[in-house]
Chain A
Amino acid sequence: MLDGSRGGAGPGVPMVSIRGLRKSYGGHLVLDDVDLEVGAAEVVVIAGPSGSGKSTLCRCINRLEVPDSGEVTIGGQPVPLEGRQLARIRAEVGMVFQQFNLFAHRTVLENVALGPVKVLRQRPAQARQRAQELLDRVGVGAQAAKYPAQLSGGQQQRVAIARSLAMDPKVMLFDEPTSALDPEMINEVLDVMKSLARDGMTMIVVTHEMGFARSAADRVVFMDAGRIVEQAPPEQFFSAPRSQRAQDFLSKILIHS
């Protein structure tokens, strides 16, 4: 089983803390003074219209995107600006991308074992065994010897999740993990994510899947125009959104459900 409850932050220290994050692209403010705290084992869904800054916020947490100002801490430690220390922190933060981004020249098994071997310095045999276990767990164990392009989108995304899990992350970031999937493959990925949430993984999930937010999230964070407009437990957010923007957003996406 997964050790999803792996600590790192002491009691009372949030797993992820974001303070005063700002980011602009050529004069356009994408993140406008964002503060957010995520506790250990908490599952936070970030929702909001396109261009509201959700993905940028997610990518600023492990510094794939460099914020103009503000501070991010993981388990109480500030994320270093660059270099080896930054790489070390990134190893503790799993990330799942919209486009899967599996390494195209490596087999599925090698994709999962690469990080543990190169970053955690595990022995290859040990890393491969663990990789196979993780692939079995996300239901793609039979595909271990194939190349990513030979898998369906849903299978690729589950491999990507296994690849992140292989690093035993303290927290996992999901940047629109189902947005590039055919509809019939969305659930197989969401099911894996729900089981992670149940096992106590700290998760920050940028998604348009409001069903997932309803059933798996502890808190929904609603963003618009680079700001966090409101945040609430899912029951409250979906039944009684406080802000006009959230009401508009929900009325547009929930009209058929």
Chain B
Amino acid sequence: MSVLTQHLPQLLDGLLSTCLLMVLSFAGSLAIGVLVAAARVSPVRSLRAAATGYVELFQNIPLLVWLLLFVFALPEVGVIFPLFTTAVIVLALYEAAYMAEAIRSGINSVGRGQAEAARSLGLTTPQTLRHVVLPQALRSVVQPIGNVLIALTMNTSLAAAVGVVELTHAANEVNLAEAQPIPVFVGAGLAYMAVTLTIGLTTGLIERKVAIVR
């Protein structure tokens, strides 16, 4: 155990970095996910096709491949971001595909009559989505969105593979120095667990708070 306390600052830095990756890419993936989901139910065929293409593209290529592509291939064509920023962008884009599918299932759960009533009042399609359909859809998919966030949190550890110093990377460095894999990686695992259990609890609270009176 002393190995953990000795390297606590380094590990806490890693944990902070993990949390930052998580929060930033969650915000990004939620924003992109809403847009992609909205495009998937759009009356405009080209928008629907583009959104479907997006989801298929990111769901059918592994996250690690995307990370490697962005970190090593983009600089080849002259696009260079700081490493951490690149990881946030890739995670946000990748998880947005899953976010979009979760949100779309919520949109489909909103009764047809709700959109018809909105349209018959003269709301345009974007207004109907924004003021009537999405607010109800998002309330019904708090739990699925929480699940995507948990998966996203796990996936932040892949950023270690391209050199982002987050929790897994920090734990690996500590182990290389101390050769005590059991306390180091069990400790890191428990830290991940604490984060995701917190997410799960929070999701449950939010879900109850925003529930629609039915």
- Asked if A103 and B132 sit within 8 Å, CB to CB, the answer is yes
Interface-side segment among B17-25, B52-60, B79-87, B114-122: B114-122
- Asked if A101 and B116 sit within 8 Å, CB to CB, the answer is yes
Shortest CB-to-CB span from B116 to chain A, Å, is 5
Q: What 1/0 mask marks residues of chain B from 118 to 131 whose CB sits below 8 Å from any chain A CB?
A: 11111110010001
Q: Which of A142-186 contact B (CB under 8 A)?
A: 147, 149-150, 160, 163-164, 167
- B212 in contact (CB, < 8 A): yes
**8 Å CB contact of A103 from B117, B119, B214:** B117
- Asked if A90 and B122 sit within 8 Å, CB to CB, the answer is yes
Interface-side segment among A48-56, A67-75, A91-99: A91-99
**A111 nearest in chain B by CB position:** B117
- Asked if B120 and A95 sit within 8 Å, CB to CB, the answer is yes
Interface-side segment among A4-12, A114-122, A192-200, A217-225: A114-122
**8 Å CB contact of B119 from A64, A114, A147, A164:** A64
- B136 in contact (CB, < 8 A): yes
Give chain B residues whose Cβ lies under 8 Å from the Cβ of A137. Answer: none
- B113 in contact (CB, < 8 A): yes
Known: A104-B214, A105-B135. A62 touches B120 (CB 8 A): yes
Size class of the A contact interface (CB-based, 8 Å): 20 to 34
Shortest CB-to-CB span from B141 to chain A, Å, is 14
Distance, CA A147 to CA B136, complexed state (A): 13
Distance, CA A94 to CA B139, complexed state (A): 28
- A87 in contact (CB, < 8 A): yes
Q: Which of B105-159 contact A (CB under 8 A)?
A: 111, 113-114, 116-124, 127, 131-132, 135-136, 139
Counting chain A CB atoms within 10 Å of each CB, the highest count among B120, B131, B212 belongs to B120
Give the B interface residue count (CB, 8 A). 22
- Asked if B213 and A149 sit within 8 Å, CB to CB, the answer is yes
- Asked if B114 and A119 sit within 8 Å, CB to CB, the answer is no
**A64 nearest in chain B by CB position:** B116
Distance, CA A53 to CA B196, complexed state (A): 54
- Asked if B139 and A90 sit within 8 Å, CB to CB, the answer is no
Give chain B residues whose Cβ lies under 8 Å from the Cβ of A83. Answer: 124
- Asked if B122 and A119 sit within 8 Å, CB to CB, the answer is yes
**8 Å CB contact of B212 from A95, A104, A118, A119:** A104
Distance, CA A94 to CA B111, complexed state (A): 20
**8 Å CB contact of B117 from A82, A93, A102, A105:** A102
Distance, CA A92 to CA B124, complexed state (A): 14
- Asked if A90 and B121 sit within 8 Å, CB to CB, the answer is yes
- Asked if A150 and B131 sit within 8 Å, CB to CB, the answer is no
Give chain B residues whose Cβ lies under 8 Å from the Cβ of A119. Answer: 121-123, 127
Distance, CA A104 to CA B119, complexed state (A): 15
Known: A99-B113, A103-B132, A104-B212. A91 touches B119 (CB 8 A): no
**B213 nearest in chain A by CB position:** A147
Shortest CB-to-CB span from A196 to chain B, Å, is 17
Give chain A residues whose Cβ lies under 8 Å from the Cβ of B114. Answer: 101, 103-104
Q: Which of B59-103 contact A (CB under 8 A)?
A: none
**8 Å CB contact of B121 from A82, A91, A150:** A91
**B132 nearest in chain A by CB position:** A103
12 A/B residue pairs, CB under 8 Å, sorted by A: A64-B119, A82-B43, A87-B122, A87-B124, A90-B120, A102-B117, A103-B117, A115-B123, A119-B123, A119-B127, A150-B213, A164-B121
